């Protein structure tokens, strides 16, 4: 289980049981539903933006520990950030979980998900909340 422990760091298991920002936001201007066809899980992201800054953000849905941890970390990190900063966070995270490469600006919270790139089927779990959020922030949500 050595390898697996890299994927499922303690904090991931914790988040899966006590996810952060796991709630709805009433009348959120930005709401987006994302679905992982590989497993049938889904996530809904709620967000409010003011002056290009993410004011509030939350998520709901069903998913595995990886996806819940990813959504928890994501919502925690992007709250209060500018849309530009969110975009570059997304780019960095995307790169991290597909290649394992980090960059200096990256929050150490994201690094706990670095092990995912070794598990191709689970990459989708980690990226799903991010994709859904990006779509929601840009109002490009295909599912709405």
Partner 1 sequence: MTFDVDKIRNDFPVLFQSSRGKPLIYLDNAATTQRPKSVIKAVSSFYENDNANIHRSVYELGERATIKYEDARVKVQKFINAEKSASIIFTKGTTESINLVAYAYGRTFLKPGDEILYSEMEHHSNIVPWQQVAETTGCQLKYIPITDDGTLVEDWRNYFSEKTKFVAITHQSNVLGSINPVKDIITYAHDKGAKILIDAAQSVPHMSVDVQNLGCDFLVFSGHKMLAPTGVGVLYGKTDILNAMPPFLFGGDMISQVGLQSSKWNDLPHKFEAGTPNIAQVIGLGAAIDYINELGIDSIHQYEHELTQYALSKFEELDTIKVFGTRENRGAILSFHSEFVHPHDMAQFLDADGIAVRAGHHCAQPLMERLRVPATTRASLYFYNTREEIDILVNSIKNILKIFSVESQPK
Could you say which of partner 1, ligand FES, none residue 128 binds, taking C-beta under 5 to 8 angstroms by partner kind? ligand FES
Nearer to partner 1, 40 or 105 (CB): 40
Cβ contact 89:113 at 8 Å: no
Stretch that binds ligand FES, among 6-14, 60-68, 78-86, 101-109 (CB under 6 A): 60-68
Candidate list 32, 66, 78, 133; residue touching ligand FES; CB under 6 A: 66
Rounded CA gap, 99 and 118, in Å?
A: 8
Cβ contact 73:18 at 8 Å: no
Other CB atoms within 10 A of residue 91 CB = 11
Q: In the complex, what is the shortest distance from the CB of residue 66 to ligand FES, in angstroms, rounded to a whole number?
A: 5
| Beta strands across the sheet bearing 30-36 | 30-36, 41-50, 53-62
- Residue with structure tokens 């990813």? 70
Q: Applying CB under 6 A, which residues contact ligand FES?
A: 36, 39, 41, 63-64, 66-67, 125, 128
Q: Which residues contribute to the site for partner 1 (CB under 8 A)?
A: 1, 3-4, 7-8, 10, 13-14, 16-18, 35, 37-42, 62-66, 119-122, 125
């Amino acid at each position: 289980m050595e390898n697996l422990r890299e994927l499922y760091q303690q904090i991931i298991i914790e988040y899966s049981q006590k996810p952060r920002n796991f709630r709805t936001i009433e009348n959120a201007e930005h709401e987006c539903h994302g679905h992982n066809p590989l497993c049938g899980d889904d996530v809904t992201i709620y967000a409010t933006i003011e002056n290009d800054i993410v004011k509030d953000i939350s998520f709901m849905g069903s998913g595995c520990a990886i996806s819940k941890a990813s959504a928890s970390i994501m919502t925690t990190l992007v709250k209060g950030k500018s849309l530009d900063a969110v975009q570059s966070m997304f780019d960095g995270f995307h790169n991290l979980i597909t290649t394992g490469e980090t960059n200096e600006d990256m929050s150490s919270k994201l690094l706990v998900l670095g092990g995912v790139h070794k598990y191709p089927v689970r990459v989708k779990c980690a990226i799903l909340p991010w994709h859904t959020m990006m779509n929601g922030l840009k109002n490009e949500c295909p599912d709405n």
